[in-house]
Amino acid sequence: MEKYWNPVLETLPREQLQQLQLKKFQKILKWSYENSPFYRSLYKDAGLEPGDIRTLDDIRKVPKTEKSMLREAQGKEPFPYGSILSVPIEQVTEYRQTSGTTGQPVYHPETWQDWEWSAESWAYALYAQGYRDYDRVFLPFGYSVNIAFWAGHYAAEKIGCEVVPGGVLNTEARILKMKEIKATALMATPTYILGMADVAKKKLGLDLPKDLNIRKITSAGEPGACIPATKKRMEEMWGAKVYDQVGATEIGHWGYECQAQAGLHVLEAFHLVEIEDVETGASITEPGKRGSMVITTFDRFAHPCVRFDSKDIVEWSPIERCECGRTFRLLKGGVVGRADDITKVKGVLLAPTAIEEVVRDIPELGDEYEVVVIKKGDIDDITLKVEIAPDFKRDASAIEQKLAQQLRLKTGLRYSLEFHDYGTLPRYDVKAKRFKDLRAKE
């Protein structure tokens, strides 16, 4: 049996891999410039022409994008994808969307070719994790509007596996089905991998390593398999190898563990990953320094992803060549955090951007705001400071009511609200720090 999905690409010497990446970057940049009103406007405003990018170093001249820009662009025509869409809308064959964890979901169009690309990129990962045509792969997820494990399903089919969709079954039924059909592999989030193990043991009285045949698990959707203690717990509960896998709807699948489990391989034939210092923006190319990932996706054309600031905190591994023989570079410990940390307040996950969306959706409020979280005894206390736009000062009471109601609706939390005179809250030119978590870190 072959060791690699594509031995030619996966073992390409570094210099040639970088040549390939430059060519592919130039191609997607030109495509985006010529076919997406969003990108054309972004680059024209920056005075950038696609031909300006001649070396890998030149790539840093290209303006970055981020999720808020995608959200803004999707408010434009054509509905619902907006001005990033780079193909005639008739060519779109699949609708996906982000989970909306950090605010309004981003809609994602796929042409059939882009969808093939998604399955192809996953095939690289699954093959590296040992999936083969003799595997019976169980997918216990809700087949819905979010991308989740959809591409994993199609990639497993592409490899030749027998794929079993465990869609609307409940957890107990899923476990029993895996047992009944002797499934050999599964894909799920780490939370669910642990949850299923708990149900199997406590409700069904099963000893998973003995009673089931699952020997490899692909863990994606949230951190877990990159956290050694969590990975160990999952592997012991299931008697299976657990592999981390990372992707995002806007980016596609971009990183995976191979059977050596020595870190997260970046799928470098499909992406260019840059790491930037969170404070200075300086490029980090050496191991041992954490930074925010900026990523470009090659050969995915309907909704291009060029220099997307993913806010994922990552660092290069000191391992120069993985024992698996792949030359795709490794990240140490996978995605280790988020630059715009979503935080838990009063037990509720809170994205600062969700507050921003509420504040900026109320025209009577000024643009600036500040959120302060403190601990009062054992209880989190969250204060939102806002400014009332000058013309609306007399309506303070009604605005307060509207703001409190929207915050409760969109974030599920109650706030102490403070109204400040217009122009008195701090202003920022770059790197605004509007979210201040003053709780002592454990």
Partner 1 sequence: MVKDYKVGDMAEKIKVLKETATELKRVSGGIQAVDRNVDRILASIKMLEINISDLVDIGIEHREG
Q: d(Cα 368, Cα 359) in Å, to the nearest integer? A: 9
Applying CB under 8 A, which part among 10-18, 142-150, 179-187, 433-441 lies near partner 1? 10-18
Contact partners, residue 422, CB within 8 Å, separation at least 6:
366, 387, 388, 389, 390
Alpha carbon distance 147, 249 (integer Å): 6
Told to check if 277 binds partner 1 by CB under 8 A, we report no
Q: Segment contacting partner 1 (CB under 8 A): 108-116, 191-199, 336-344, 365-373?
A: 108-116
Maximum alpha-carbon separation in the chain: 75
User: Closest Cα partner for 140 from 106, 179, 108, 93?
Assistant: 179
Site size for partner 1 (CB under 8 A): 22
Site string for partner 1, 289-308 (x = CB under 8 A): ----------x---------
Candidates 92, 185, 225, 269: give the one binding partner 1 (CB under 8 A).
269
Burial of 168 (0-12, 13-18, 19+ CB in 10 A): exposed
Q: Does 11 sit near partner 1 (CB under 8 A)?
A: yes
Cβ of residue 6: shortest distance to partner 1, in angstroms? 5
268 near partner 1 (CB under 8 A): no
Stretch in the footprint of partner 1 (CB under 8 A) among 6-14, 252-260, 279-287, 409-417 = 6-14
Q: Closer to partner 1 at the Cβ: 27 or 233?
A: 27
Q: Using the rule CB under 8 A, is 191 a contact of partner 1?
A: no
Rounded to whole angstroms, what are the CA distances from 310 to 32, 234, 306, 359? 19, 27, 11, 23
CB of 24 to partner 1, least distance (A): 7
Residues 114, 336 contacting (CB under 8 angstroms)? no
- Do 350 and 406 touch, CB atoms closer than 8 A? no
State in angstroms the smallest separation of the CB of 5 from partner 1.
9
Nearer to partner 1, 38 or 115 (CB): 115
Q: What is the CA radius of gyration of the chain?
A: 23
**For residues 141 and 122, is the Cβ–Cβ distance under 8 A?**
no
Bridge partner list, 380: 375
Task: List the end-to-end C-alpha distance of the chain, in Å, as a whole number.
Answer: 49
Residue 362 CA, distance from chain mean position: 29
**CA 255 to CA 328: how far, in whole Å?**
10
Q: How far is the CB of 326 from partner 1 (least distance, A)?
A: 12
Q: How far is the CB of 111 from partner 1 (least distance, A)?
A: 8
Residue 53: CB minimum distance to partner 1, A: 16
Range in contact with partner 1 (rule: CB under 8 A) among 13-21, 219-227, 381-389, 396-404: 13-21
The nearer residue to partner 1, 23 or 439, going by C-beta atoms, is 23
Locus of tokens 């509960």: 237
Choices 107-115, 134-142, 281-289, 353-361 (CB under 8 A): range interacting with partner 1: 107-115
DSSP string covering 233-272: HHHHHHTSEEEEEEEETTTEEEEE--TT-SSEEE-TTTEE
Paired sense of beta strands 252-256 and 365-376, if any:
unpaired
436 phi, psi to nearest 5 deg: -115, 110
Site for partner 1 in 17-56 (CB under 8 A): 19-20, 23-24
Which is closer to partner 1, CB of 125 or CB of 371? Answer: 125
Q: What is the DSSP letter of 84?
A: G
Confirm or reject binding of residue 7 to partner 1 (CB under 8 A).
yes
8 part of the interface to partner 1, by CB under 8 A = yes
- E strands in 204-338: 216-219, 241-248, 252-256, 264-266, 271-276, 291-297, 308-314, 330-331, 337-338
- Minimum Å gap between C-beta 274 and partner 1 is 20
* Least Å from the CB of residue 10 to partner 1: 9
Query: Cβ 329 to partner 1, closest distance in Å?
Result: 18
Give the x/- contact pattern for partner 1 in 115-154, rule: CB under 8 A.
xxx--x----------------------------------
Stretch that binds partner 1, among 3-11, 216-224, 234-242, 311-319 (CB under 8 A): 3-11
Give min distance, CB of 328 to partner 1, in A.
Answer: 14
When binding is defined by CB under 8 A, the residue of 14, 16, 318, 349 that contacts partner 1 is 16
Q: State the nearest-atom distance from the C-beta of 30 to partner 1, in Å.
A: 14
Cis peptide before 287 (omega within 30 of 0): no
Dist. CA 32–CA 306, nearest whole Å: 8
323: exposed, middle or buried (C-beta count within 10 Å: 0-12, 13-18, 19+)? exposed
**Which residues of the chain form contacts with partner 1 (CB under 8 A)?**
4, 6-9, 11-12, 16, 19-20, 23-24, 111-113, 115-117, 120, 269-270, 299
